[in-house]
Structure 1
Amino acid sequence: MSNLVPLTIIKGAGFEHIPLPAGENATVADFHTTLTKTTATPAPITSGFYKIVAGPARPASYTFEEAKYVLQGQIDVLDEATGITHHLVPGDYAFFPVGSQVKFSTKSAGFAFYVVTRPVKTAHPNLEGREEGAAGAKAKL
Protein backbone atom coordinates (compact mmCIF):
# COMPACT_ATOMS: atom_id res chain seq x y z
CA MET A 1 0.00 0.00 0.00
CA SER A 2 1.34 3.43 -0.97
CA ASN A 3 1.29 6.63 1.09
CA LEU A 4 1.38 8.75 -2.06
CA VAL A 5 -1.37 11.35 -2.43
CA PRO A 6 -2.57 12.66 -5.82
CA LEU A 7 -2.26 16.34 -6.75
CA THR A 8 -5.21 18.69 -7.25
CA ILE A 9 -5.03 20.32 -10.69
CA ILE A 10 -7.31 23.11 -11.94
CA LYS A 11 -7.21 23.34 -15.73
CA GLY A 12 -7.34 26.82 -17.22
CA ALA A 13 -7.12 28.73 -13.94
CA GLY A 14 -5.97 31.79 -15.87
CA PHE A 15 -6.47 35.45 -15.12
CA GLU A 16 -7.48 36.40 -18.67
CA HIS A 17 -10.89 37.68 -17.57
CA ILE A 18 -11.75 38.63 -14.03
CA PRO A 19 -14.62 41.13 -14.11
CA LEU A 20 -14.82 43.84 -11.47
CA PRO A 21 -18.16 43.89 -9.65
CA ALA A 22 -20.40 46.82 -10.64
CA GLY A 23 -19.31 50.00 -8.86
CA GLU A 24 -16.11 48.43 -7.45
CA ASN A 25 -12.45 49.07 -8.31
CA ALA A 26 -11.03 45.85 -6.77
CA THR A 27 -11.92 42.18 -6.54
CA VAL A 28 -10.60 38.77 -5.54
CA ALA A 29 -11.10 35.63 -7.60
CA ASP A 30 -10.50 32.40 -5.66
CA PHE A 31 -9.45 29.20 -7.45
CA HIS A 32 -9.89 26.34 -5.05
CA THR A 33 -9.72 25.47 -1.36
CA THR A 34 -7.63 22.54 -0.18
CA LEU A 35 -7.60 21.29 3.40
CA THR A 36 -4.07 20.86 4.74
CA LYS A 37 -3.05 17.53 6.18
CA THR A 38 0.07 18.81 7.94
CA THR A 39 -1.59 19.66 11.25
CA ALA A 40 -3.84 17.80 13.67
CA THR A 41 -6.76 20.01 12.60
CA PRO A 42 -6.94 20.50 8.80
CA ALA A 43 -6.92 24.16 7.79
CA PRO A 44 -8.09 25.65 4.45
CA ILE A 45 -5.62 27.04 1.92
CA THR A 46 -7.13 28.96 -1.00
CA SER A 47 -5.34 30.61 -3.91
CA GLY A 48 -6.48 33.11 -6.47
CA PHE A 49 -5.94 36.49 -8.12
CA TYR A 50 -6.38 40.05 -6.85
CA LYS A 51 -7.19 42.82 -9.33
CA ILE A 52 -7.36 46.55 -8.60
CA VAL A 53 -7.74 49.66 -10.77
CA ALA A 54 -7.57 53.36 -9.87
CA GLY A 55 -10.29 54.43 -7.46
CA PRO A 56 -10.90 54.69 -3.73
CA ALA A 57 -8.61 52.91 -1.26
CA ARG A 58 -9.89 49.44 -0.29
CA PRO A 59 -9.58 48.70 3.46
CA ALA A 60 -8.88 45.14 4.63
CA SER A 61 -8.69 43.68 8.13
CA TYR A 62 -7.11 40.24 8.31
CA THR A 63 -8.70 37.42 10.32
CA PHE A 64 -6.65 34.95 8.22
CA GLU A 65 -3.13 34.91 6.77
CA GLU A 66 -2.39 35.97 3.22
CA ALA A 67 0.62 36.16 0.92
CA LYS A 68 0.43 38.28 -2.26
CA TYR A 69 2.87 38.19 -5.20
CA VAL A 70 2.50 41.06 -7.68
CA LEU A 71 2.41 39.96 -11.33
CA GLN A 72 1.52 43.18 -13.18
CA GLY A 73 1.23 46.91 -12.55
CA GLN A 74 1.49 48.47 -9.10
CA ILE A 75 -0.43 47.86 -5.89
CA ASP A 76 -0.03 50.34 -3.06
CA VAL A 77 -0.54 48.97 0.46
CA LEU A 78 -0.91 51.32 3.44
CA ASP A 79 0.10 49.40 6.59
CA GLU A 80 -2.08 51.02 9.25
CA ALA A 81 0.17 49.67 12.04
CA THR A 82 3.16 51.70 10.80
CA GLY A 83 1.58 54.37 8.57
CA ILE A 84 3.95 53.28 5.75
CA THR A 85 2.62 52.91 2.21
CA HIS A 86 4.43 50.16 0.30
CA HIS A 87 4.49 50.47 -3.51
CA LEU A 88 4.47 46.86 -4.76
CA VAL A 89 5.49 46.12 -8.37
CA PRO A 90 5.96 42.87 -10.35
CA GLY A 91 8.14 40.48 -8.40
CA ASP A 92 7.29 41.99 -4.98
CA TYR A 93 5.85 39.79 -2.23
CA ALA A 94 3.83 40.82 0.81
CA PHE A 95 2.70 38.75 3.81
CA PHE A 96 -0.36 39.82 5.84
CA PRO A 97 -0.54 38.12 9.28
CA VAL A 98 -3.73 37.78 11.31
CA GLY A 99 -4.47 41.20 12.84
CA SER A 100 -3.07 43.22 9.92
CA GLN A 101 -5.08 46.23 8.86
CA VAL A 102 -4.30 47.78 5.46
CA LYS A 103 -5.67 49.89 2.64
CA PHE A 104 -5.08 48.81 -0.98
CA SER A 105 -4.93 51.36 -3.80
CA THR A 106 -3.28 52.09 -7.14
CA LYS A 107 -2.90 55.06 -9.46
CA SER A 108 -3.21 52.81 -12.52
CA ALA A 109 -3.87 49.06 -12.18
CA GLY A 110 -2.38 46.10 -10.38
CA PHE A 111 -2.64 42.33 -10.52
CA ALA A 112 -1.41 39.79 -7.95
CA PHE A 113 -1.53 36.08 -7.14
CA TYR A 114 -2.45 35.26 -3.55
CA VAL A 115 -2.62 32.37 -1.13
CA VAL A 116 -4.84 32.67 1.97
CA THR A 117 -5.73 30.53 4.98
CA ARG A 118 -9.50 30.66 4.49
CA PRO A 119 -12.08 28.81 2.36
CA VAL A 120 -13.21 30.03 -1.08
CA LYS A 121 -15.04 33.35 -0.71
CA THR A 122 -15.44 34.63 -4.28
CA ALA A 123 -15.03 31.91 -6.90
CA HIS A 124 -13.07 32.68 -10.05
CA PRO A 125 -15.52 33.05 -12.95
CA ASN A 126 -15.65 30.21 -15.46
CA LEU A 127 -13.73 27.67 -13.33
CA GLU A 128 -16.67 25.42 -12.47
CA GLY A 129 -15.98 21.94 -13.76
CA ARG A 130 -12.30 22.62 -14.51
CA GLU A 131 -10.85 20.47 -11.76
CA GLU A 132 -8.84 17.74 -13.48
CA GLY A 133 -10.94 14.63 -13.78
CA ALA A 134 -14.22 16.59 -13.89
CA ALA A 135 -16.36 15.95 -16.95
CA GLY A 136 -15.36 18.36 -19.70
CA ALA A 137 -12.32 19.79 -17.88
CA LYS A 138 -9.90 21.32 -20.38
CA ALA A 139 -7.30 24.05 -20.50
CA LYS A 140 -8.11 27.40 -22.11
CA LEU A 141 -5.56 28.19 -24.79
Structure 2
Amino acid sequence: MSSETASGPVPFTHYAKASSVKPPLIANENAFLGDVSCSTDAAKPISAGFYRLEKGTPLVYEYHYHEMKIIIDGSFDISDEAGNKVHAVPGDVLYFPAGSKITFTTDDFGLGFYTGQRPRDTA
Protein backbone atom coordinates (compact mmCIF):
# COMPACT_ATOMS: atom_id res chain seq x y z
CA MET A 1 0.00 0.00 0.00
CA SER A 2 1.48 3.35 -1.03
CA SER A 3 1.48 6.43 1.20
CA GLU A 4 1.73 8.84 -1.71
CA THR A 5 -0.88 11.25 -3.00
CA ALA A 6 -1.10 12.96 -6.39
CA SER A 7 1.18 15.67 -4.97
CA GLY A 8 3.78 13.29 -3.54
CA PRO A 9 4.60 11.43 -0.31
CA VAL A 10 2.57 12.17 2.84
CA PRO A 11 4.87 13.16 5.73
CA PHE A 12 4.34 12.48 9.44
CA THR A 13 4.57 15.21 12.09
CA HIS A 14 6.83 15.12 15.17
CA TYR A 15 6.07 17.07 18.37
CA ALA A 16 9.26 16.91 20.42
CA LYS A 17 8.82 16.75 24.21
CA ALA A 18 5.12 17.64 23.91
CA SER A 19 4.27 16.16 27.34
CA SER A 20 6.61 18.61 29.06
CA VAL A 21 4.54 21.66 28.02
CA LYS A 22 1.76 22.53 30.49
CA PRO A 23 -1.56 22.77 28.62
CA PRO A 24 -3.78 25.89 28.95
CA LEU A 25 -6.18 26.28 31.90
CA ILE A 26 -9.68 25.14 30.87
CA ALA A 27 -11.74 24.94 34.07
CA ASN A 28 -11.67 25.80 37.76
CA GLU A 29 -8.22 26.74 39.05
CA ASN A 30 -6.62 23.36 38.40
CA ALA A 31 -7.76 21.74 35.12
CA PHE A 32 -5.60 22.10 32.02
CA LEU A 33 -6.14 20.72 28.49
CA GLY A 34 -4.54 21.35 25.13
CA ASP A 35 -4.82 19.77 21.72
CA VAL A 36 -1.39 19.02 20.28
CA SER A 37 -2.47 17.67 16.91
CA CYS A 38 -5.72 17.34 15.00
CA SER A 39 -6.71 15.75 11.72
CA THR A 40 -8.09 17.74 8.82
CA ASP A 41 -10.72 15.07 8.05
CA ALA A 42 -14.04 16.92 8.45
CA ALA A 43 -16.10 13.72 8.28
CA LYS A 44 -14.08 11.82 10.90
CA PRO A 45 -12.11 14.34 12.97
CA ILE A 46 -9.60 13.21 15.57
CA SER A 47 -7.75 15.32 18.13
CA ALA A 48 -4.95 14.37 20.50
CA GLY A 49 -3.28 16.16 23.36
CA PHE A 50 -2.72 16.33 27.09
CA TYR A 51 -5.03 16.74 30.08
CA ARG A 52 -3.57 17.73 33.46
CA LEU A 53 -5.45 18.01 36.73
CA GLU A 54 -3.86 19.36 39.88
CA LYS A 55 -5.08 18.94 43.45
CA GLY A 56 -8.18 21.04 44.11
CA THR A 57 -11.65 21.25 42.61
CA PRO A 58 -12.93 18.04 40.96
CA LEU A 59 -13.64 18.33 37.24
CA VAL A 60 -17.00 16.97 36.09
CA TYR A 61 -17.08 16.57 32.31
CA GLU A 62 -19.77 15.25 29.99
CA TYR A 63 -18.32 13.80 26.79
CA HIS A 64 -20.08 14.74 23.52
CA TYR A 65 -17.58 12.59 21.59
CA HIS A 66 -15.68 9.31 22.10
CA GLU A 67 -12.28 9.56 23.80
CA MET A 68 -9.43 7.27 24.82
CA LYS A 69 -6.96 8.37 27.49
CA ILE A 70 -3.72 6.85 28.76
CA ILE A 71 -2.36 8.00 32.10
CA ILE A 72 1.30 8.95 31.71
CA ASP A 73 2.18 10.58 35.07
CA GLY A 74 0.67 11.05 38.52
CA SER A 75 -2.77 9.58 39.16
CA PHE A 76 -6.49 10.28 38.84
CA ASP A 77 -9.50 9.08 40.78
CA ILE A 78 -12.17 8.70 38.13
CA SER A 79 -15.87 7.94 38.53
CA ASP A 80 -18.99 7.96 36.38
CA GLU A 81 -22.75 8.18 36.88
CA ALA A 82 -23.07 4.39 36.49
CA GLY A 83 -21.14 3.91 39.76
CA ASN A 84 -17.79 2.88 38.26
CA LYS A 85 -14.71 4.11 40.15
CA VAL A 86 -11.01 3.62 39.46
CA HIS A 87 -7.70 4.93 40.76
CA ALA A 88 -5.89 5.39 37.44
CA VAL A 89 -2.08 5.29 37.35
CA PRO A 90 0.58 5.47 34.60
CA GLY A 91 -0.03 2.86 31.93
CA ASP A 92 -3.80 2.65 32.53
CA VAL A 93 -5.99 3.21 29.46
CA LEU A 94 -9.57 4.48 29.72
CA TYR A 95 -12.39 4.76 27.19
CA PHE A 96 -15.05 7.43 27.66
CA PRO A 97 -18.00 6.93 25.27
CA ALA A 98 -20.03 9.88 24.02
CA GLY A 99 -22.70 10.72 26.61
CA SER A 100 -20.69 9.62 29.65
CA LYS A 101 -20.42 12.06 32.56
CA ILE A 102 -17.06 11.64 34.29
CA THR A 103 -15.66 13.11 37.52
CA PHE A 104 -11.88 13.51 37.74
CA THR A 105 -10.06 14.17 41.04
CA THR A 106 -6.47 13.77 42.22
CA ASP A 107 -4.58 13.90 45.52
CA ASP A 108 -1.60 15.60 43.85
CA PHE A 109 -1.73 15.75 40.03
CA GLY A 110 -2.45 13.58 37.04
CA LEU A 111 -1.35 13.83 33.41
CA GLY A 112 -3.05 11.94 30.62
CA PHE A 113 -2.65 11.76 26.86
CA TYR A 114 -5.98 11.62 25.02
CA THR A 115 -7.29 10.95 21.54
CA GLY A 116 -10.83 12.17 20.92
CA GLN A 117 -13.20 11.88 17.99
CA ARG A 118 -13.76 15.63 17.65
CA PRO A 119 -12.42 18.70 15.82
CA ARG A 120 -9.66 20.89 17.29
CA ASP A 121 -10.52 22.91 20.40
CA THR A 122 -14.07 21.56 20.83
CA ALA A 123 -13.63 19.73 24.14
Q: Does 1:102 find its partner at 2:102?
A: yes
For the 8 Å contact 1:13–1:31, the answer to whether it is kept is no
Partner residue of 2:12 out of 3, 8, 12: 8
TM-score w.r.t. the length of structure 2 is 0.82
More strand by share: 2
Aligned residues: 116
RMSD of Structure 2 on Structure 1 (CA): 2.2
How far 1:117 moved relative to its partner?
A: 0.5
Q: Percent identity?
A: 33
Q: Flag structure 1 segments of 5+ consecutive residues without an equivalent.
A: 123-141
In structure 2, the residue corresponding to 1:115 is in which secondary structure? strand
Aligned in 2, Cα 1:8/1:73: closer, same or farther, shift over 3 Å?
A: same
TM-score w.r.t. the length of structure 1 is 0.73
How far 1:85 moved relative to its partner?
A: 2.0
How far 1:23 moved relative to its partner?
A: 5.4
Aligned in 2, Cα 1:89/1:34: closer, same or farther, shift over 3 Å?
A: same
Map of 2:29 onto structure 1: 24
Residue type matched to 2:78 in 1? Answer: V
Q: After superposition, where does 1:1-141 map in structure 2 within 5 Å?
A: 3-5=2-4, 6-12=10-16, 14-19=18-23, 21=25, 24-36=29-41, 42-81=43-82, 83-121=83-121
Structure 1 stretches of 4+ moved >4 Å: none
Aligned in 2, Cα 1:13/1:48: closer, same or farther, shift over 3 Å?
A: farther
Structure 2 Cα separation of the partners of residues 13 and 45 of structure 1: 21
